[in-house]
Amino acid sequence: MPVARVLDAADLTRVVGRISHEILEKSHGPDDLILLGIPRRGVPLAQRIAERMHSIEGVDVPVGSLDVTMYRDDIGLRGARPLGTTDVPLGGIDDRIVVLVDDVLFSGRTIRSALDALNDIGRPRAVRLAVLIDRGHRNFRFAPITSGRTFPPREPRMFGSTWWKRTGWMRCCSARPRRVAHEAPTECH
Amino acid sequence: MTSTDILIRGVRPLGGRDVVDLVISEGRIRDIGSGLMGTEGARVIEAGGRICLPGLVDLHTHLREPGREDTETIETGCQAAALGGYTAVHAMANTQPVADTAGVVEQVWRRGREIGLCEVVPVGAVTVGLGGERLAELGAMAESAARVRVFSDDGICVSDPLLMRRALEYVKGFDGVVAQHAQEPRLTIGAQMNEGALSGELGLPGWPAVAEEAIIARDVLLAEHVGSRLHVCHLSTRGSVEIIRWAKERGIDVTAEVTPHHLMLTEDLARSYDPLFKVNPPLRTIEDVEAVRAGLADGTIDIVATDHAPHAHEDKDCEWSAGAFGMLGLQTAVGVVAEAMVATGSMTWEQVADRMSVAPARIARLKDQGRPLIPGEPAHLTIIDPDAPWTVRPELLASRSRNTPYVERTLPASVWATFFQGQPTVLEGSLA
Amino acid sequence: MRHLLSATDLDRDQAVMLLDTAAELASVTDRAVKKLPTLRGRTVANLFFEDSTRTRLSFEAAAKRLSADVITFTAKGSSVSKGESLKDTALTLEAMGAQAIVLRHHASGAAQRLAESGWIDASVVNAGDGTHEHPTQALLDAFTLRQHLRDGEGDLSGLRVVIVGDILHSRVARSNVWLLRTLGAQVTLVAPPTLVPFGVDSWPCAVSYDLDDVLPEADAVMMLRVQAERMTAAYFPSAHEYSRRYGLDAARASALAEHAVVLHPGPMNRGMEITADVADSPRSLVVDQVANGVSVRMAVLYHVLADPGSVLGEEPA
């Protein structure tokens, strides 16, 4: 399967920077912000955004993770998956601005599940979304606050990202579509 | 004038190499030889060189009538028997009511004669109501029209040693034989399958081999002591074969039977928890199967007896411990013996004739069955095609019940024709 | 994993995944809303032919925490009368919409029969079948051991577990032997010779008739319930002799290593296989076992119904 690079390590650094700035701008600063990465690939991304925010504002923005496997509506279709960790930072989400972080926004199912999960955890003041790639083929309506790259709805390519833990690099890539159009992107190299 | 004579062209008696013709007249073999013409108006049947044996005799069948006609009647049982090549079956006594009086055995006997597909020989119970407490009227049953000679509480062991002794002694008065279902009740309380590593793993209470062997050992010594003959039903373990061998070497007058399923199937089938494989005595280990095969081949085990045991659908379509014990056997016996004994080279068809016709008839004292294939003898015949595989399917079974463990299994040989009293009951594999 | 019938259905990776899933699900109790919507609109049926309030409630709680609807059928008595056949009852429950059936039955192999007979399409979870298996009990025991002796992660490699009691009649013992072995633990069974199954030497564990001999080396001791009625069938001469030779009392408990823990699947026969003071001591993890049972059963129900082979997998998207 031919793989093309959409964002390389250097691009990613710039995109993370832009995303971090945009979030801080829209929220008028880091107060009451809390970043929740969606496992698996949203988690290291949320970490990088938090680190960048620290170097911009000099403040520690709480960062954690929110696994949504048990909130999905497609049980029985894809088999049981191992659960990711849900780690809500101390202090919870009540009256905070929650920024959900994921690598690719596609149908929006994951985000919809995440909203249901947040509902069961507490009552945030606002919920925003940050993604690297917005594919635009959404089944649910909401607009992310910020995205690295946007692609038009007719875009047939699949998207994925790879995270190298050791080096802290991240890279986004795309590939020709597989048979089933609505399948979520999987990891590619 | 239409003749009831029959000319069967092209059979190999006892599986020998010579292909001959056979003329049947008035219920007897009139002539055997090559190029026979037969009488005028005789029916001609082309047997194409298939094997001819004396009609098979089953010493152990459950016909369920009276009492459980929902599972089998004497008629459907006889149909299954004929399709299996049998010209005589012994109907076990555990009916409802129990066959422990002259009245019940005569009823069964008469019904068999009415149907006329094979000889139905009732087996009389040893004890009243199979209760194991006092002897039934063995003499009355022997003197009845049914002329009972084989007595058995089958289903239940005659476990009281004193009662067994008395029964062995008493039947000497009319050349009867006690057929023991060897199962020490105290060692098999709640037993479900063979006791071994597998039963421990599956969590099913075990039926240890020693519960069978201990009774056989006791009974052969009793038979020796009182000078009577003994028959042992459905032998299933290696140890039992060894005890019988030892007893015969000592000159004890004991005979033994093995079922087709104990020649073929092992306890591993219980892993499915499907009660289709639940039987008493239980399916045993591969070592036991090998031992009973060797015992049958060398004559330590005298006969094959089916222990045909029909059961209602709901008594098998359930969890293992709720299932009834027993398997069908009449229609599949020849195929199973062919696969287990003939195809493996352990026995010839002539030996099969001995184990499935001649010897059972002798043990049961049936004077017309298991006879040599020579002119003058009664024409009870089984014609077997040794190279006609067939797949066991429910719709092919004549029995009212369907509990065969061989379903969807292909057996190598089939019964092509059965002749009872000189007339075909089965031709080309179907009821005539 | 469309059904869970036996501990042998799970290989090491599957078992660890279930334990990991259970660990995540345990934290649901810390949330504001202590439920997950995963099985909303689905029906789980509890089909209990044997009385067991404890296990039944545990499965009910697990199903409800996943937002499933629960229907329960309990049958009294040790024999199944014609109107209460396993097949009929299961068909009735499926007709009422059950997509998973949790079965406890007095016949060994009942769960496997229900799953493989073709009577129903629903998934089957074995909640105890005769003297055969009780896989969710083994999972919650393993979970509890992992939590206390392996920091809640990975498998149980190298753990030395001793199981004491009526092994012959115990489905808990069987499931534990298979699962502990799959997870890398070493198991020793301790019982009088009459209460050890025929052919146990082919099992992947050691056997000892001497409890005092094995206690000092044990990391965990699992006590099984022993019924005093067994002495009428000559398994042991008296309850007194049994508890003297095989009971866990304070003296024996003090012979255990400091870190060693005590488990019991319940219900306990205090005074018979275990004394009250040991049952209530800090070593005893009995209460944890019960709590862990719910998370473990949630994990099992999720995995069974999420399997593409389950009834849910066949529904139109």
pLDDT tens figures, B210-240: 999 999 999 999 999 999 999 999 999 999 9
CB atoms near residue C302 (< 10 Å): 25
C78 part of a folded domain: yes
The answer to whether residues B148 and B254 belong to one domain is yes
Segment 67-86 of chain C within 8 Å of chain B by CB: 80, 85-86
pLDDT at A108: 80
Instruction: Supply the CATH number for residue B38's domain.
Output: 2.30.40.10
Partners of B319 on chain C (C-beta within 8 Å) are 86, 105, 107, 109-110, 113-114
| Chain B residues in contact with chain C using a Cβ-Cβ cutoff of 8 Å | 192, 195-204, 206, 208, 272-274, 314, 317-322
The answer to whether residues C162 and C298 belong to one domain is no
- Which residue ranges in chain B fall short of pLDDT 70? 1-2
**ipTM of this complex prediction, to 2 decimal places:** 0.90
Partners of A75 on chain C (C-beta within 8 Å) are 38-39, 302, 305-306, 312
The answer to whether residues B336 and B354 belong to one domain is yes
Q: Do C109 and B273 touch (CB under 8 A)?
A: yes
C228 part of a folded domain: yes
The answer to whether residues C150 and C40 belong to one domain is no
Judge contact between B295 and B346, C-beta under 8 A.
no
The secondary structure of chain A in percent helix, strand, coil, rounded to multiples of 5, reads: 25, 25, 45
Encode C132-147 in three state secondary structure: CECHHHHHHHHHHHHH
C134 catalytic per annotation: yes
CB atoms near residue B365 (< 10 Å): 15
- Considering only CB atoms, A82 lies closest to which of C1, C21, C311, namely C21
The answer to whether residues C13 and C117 belong to one domain is yes
pLDDT at A9: 80
Which of B187, B269, B271, B273 would you mutate first to test chain C, the one with the most C CBs within 10 A? B273
The answer to whether residues C235 and C110 belong to one domain is no
- C170: nearest CA in chain B? B203
Query: Which residues, at least 6 apart from C92, have a Cβ–Cβ distance to it below 8 Å?
Result: none
pLDDT at A166: 47
Beta bridge partners of B88: B57, B119
Q: What is the pLDDT of residues A76-125, one digit of tens each?
A: 777 888 899 999 998 899 999 999 999 888 778 888 899 999 999 999 99
Please report all neighbours of B, defined by 3+ CB atom pairs within 8 A. C
The answer to whether residues B33 and B62 belong to one domain is no
The answer to whether residues B23 and B163 belong to one domain is no
C116 part of a folded domain: yes
The answer to whether residues C186 and C81 belong to one domain is no
B1 part of a folded domain: no
C80 part of a folded domain: yes
The answer to whether residues C82 and C202 belong to one domain is no
The answer to whether residues C84 and C178 belong to one domain is no
The answer to whether residues C282 and C156 belong to one domain is yes
Give the distance from residue A78's alpha carbon to the nearest chain C alpha carbon, in angstroms. Answer: 6
As a CATH number, domain A13-72+83-152 is 3.40.50.2020
Partners of C33 on chain A (C-beta within 8 Å) are 119-121
- Give the residue numbers spanning the domain of C167: 136-289
Partners of B324 on chain C (C-beta within 8 Å) are none
Provide the number of structural domains found in chain C.
2
Q: Distance between CA atoms of C10 and C253, rounded to whole angstroms?
A: 33
pLDDT at A47: 94
The answer to whether residues C83 and C143 belong to one domain is no
The answer to whether residues B139 and B248 belong to one domain is yes
Q: Do B319 and C116 touch (CB under 8 A)?
A: no
C148 vs A72 pLDDT, higher one:
C148
The answer to whether residues C127 and C247 belong to one domain is no
Prediction pTM value: 0.90
Please say which residue of B364, B390, B418 terminates a domain: B364
Partners of C15 on chain A (C-beta within 8 Å) are none
Provide the number of structural domains found in chain B.
2
C1 part of a folded domain: no
The answer to whether residues C299 and C228 belong to one domain is no
The answer to whether residues B100 and B180 belong to one domain is yes
Judge contact between A72 and C11, C-beta under 8 A.
no
The answer to whether residues B251 and B266 belong to one domain is yes
Q: Do A76 and C32 touch (CB under 8 A)?
A: no
Catalytic residue among C65, C104, C160, C225: C104
Q: Do C130 and B203 touch (CB under 8 A)?
A: yes
Q: Do B202 and C132 touch (CB under 8 A)?
A: yes
- C82: nearest CA in chain B? B314
Judge contact between B71 and B41, C-beta under 8 A.
no
Which of C302, C305, C311, C314 would you mutate first to test chain A, the one with the most A CBs within 10 A? C302
Tens digit of pLDDT at every position of chain C (317 positions): 899 999 999 999 999 999 999 999 998 877 778 899 999 999 999 999 988 889 999 999 999 999 999 999 987 643 445 457 899 999 999 999 999 999 999 999 999 999 999 999 999 999 999 999 999 999 999 999 999 999 999 999 999 999 999 999 999 999 999 999 999 999 999 999 999 999 999 999 999 999 999 999 999 999 999 877 666 678 888 889 999 999 999 999 999 999 999 999 988 988 889 999 999 999 999 999 999 999 999 999 999 999 888 877 655 44
B325 part of a folded domain: yes
C160 part of a folded domain: yes
The answer to whether residues B110 and B155 belong to one domain is yes
Q: Which two tokens stand for residue B285?
A: 């280990």
Give the distance from residue B276's alpha carbon to the nearest chain C alpha carbon, in angstroms. Answer: 12
Mean pLDDT of chain A: 79
- Give the residue numbers spanning the domain of B23: 6-52+376-399+408-431
Q: What is the mean pLDDT of residues A121-130?
A: 92
Q: Do B320 and C108 touch (CB under 8 A)?
A: yes
B51 vs A26 pLDDT, higher one:
B51
The answer to whether residues C96 and C160 belong to one domain is no
Report the greatest alpha carbon distance in chain C: 62
Please tell me if residue C202 touches chain B, with a CB cutoff of 8 Å: yes
B293 part of a folded domain: yes
CB atoms near residue A49 (< 10 Å): 23
Instruction: Supply the CATH number for residue C226's domain.
Output: 3.40.50.1370
Please tell me if residue C112 touches chain B, with a CB cutoff of 8 Å: yes
